[in-house]
Structure 1
Amino acid sequence: MTPLHWKLVIDAADPHAQADFWAEALGYLVEDNSALIDRLLGLGHVTEADTVEAHGRRAWRNLVAVRHPDDPYQEETGIGLGRRLLFQRVPEAKTGKNRLHLDLHAPPGRRDAEVARLEARGASVLRHVEEPGGEWTVLADPEGNEFCVQ
């Protein structure tokens, strides 16, 4: 079997703000889909109402992805072919605990500094966990999605 390509999709009230937070948190790049959008606008497949300006370029209004800077991507579309998070606008707010979350691994001895860095960017600490198998801090991103820093 050929391995499948995948991305993690995260519902968001403000996909661009979430993408900016996670790009900074992970050291990722916000994808530049402007060439694809311009092509689709030119063909009449999408309208200006489907787009916004973000980071000085045309972007999709309701979705945006971040990708690892070392991973391949399609130059003609800007779409990453490796580690990606895609944020899509949804009308409903988050209502319960995540069933899936990210674990961020700080360098040895740097967990507290990493937690402080993420708090400065809009995350909030929910709790600190110490168990026989390890120790980590549970945080929430600006829209309340839980993640851990180990």
Structure 2
Amino acid sequence: MTLSWKLVIDSTNAPALADFWAAALGYEVEDPSPLIEHLLAAGHIGEEAVTEHHGCKIFRGYAAIRHPDDPYDETSGIGQGRRLLFQEVPEGKSGKNRLHLDVHSERGGLDTLVARLEELGATRVDEVNKGPAGHWWVMQDPEGNEFCVA
């Protein structure tokens, strides 16, 4: 039996990091407004659990993005396929990621992709050359999470 999953990334500003990764990957920021409206109306959550980002109600401390071609629940706005969830945590990043994303460029488009990611707020950390195996960049997102661009 296969299992569904999502990658959860700790952050200090979940909506801002979701915006970065949505732009970087060409994903869509999820709009959980319908679910939030339902939960508020039913009294299951209070207004303190909600904030607004880009005109949409979101759960305070959380934001998610999903692949635009994958299915999602129209009632909740929650993706049912490739998905990243960003959750705010009180502590800052303290070491190297043990899990990271690899972002792949089109053939011959590495420099263009790296430049676009820098314009979005990423930072180059190290260029890795592996001879015939190719080369890639280790980069950091705006909160310092490492990822590779190949």
Q: TM-score range by the shorter chain?
A: over 0.9
User: Paired residue for 1:128?
Assistant: 127
TM-score (norm 2): 0.97
Q: Distance in 2 between matches of 1:72 and 1:15?
A: 22
Q: How many equivalent residue pairs?
A: 149
**Structure 1 residues 7-28: Cα deviation after superposition (integer angstroms, max 9, x where no partner):** 0000000000000000000000
User: Paired residue for 2:109?
Assistant: 110
User: Paired residue for 2:98?
Assistant: 99
Pairing 1:1-150 to 2, within 5 Å after superposition: 1=1, 3-132=2-131, 133-150=133-150
Q: CA deviation at 1:131?
A: 1.2
Q: Distance in 2 between matches of 1:58 and 1:94?
A: 27
Q: Distance in 2 between matches of 1:68 and 1:143?
A: 22
Moved more, 29-38 or 125-134: 125-134
**Structure 1 residues 42-69: Cα deviation after superposition (integer angstroms, max 9, x where no partner):** 1111111111111211111111110000
TM-score (norm 1): 0.97
Percent of matched pairs sharing the same residue: 58
1:95 alignment partner AA: S
What are the ranges of 5 or more consecutive residues in structure 2 without an aligned counterpart? none
What are the ranges of 5 or more consecutive residues in structure 1 without an aligned counterpart? none
**Structure 1 residues 87-121: Cα deviation after superposition (integer angstroms, max 9, x where no partner):** 00100000000000000010011101100000011
CA RMSD in angstroms comes to 0.7
Moved >2 Å (runs of 4+): none
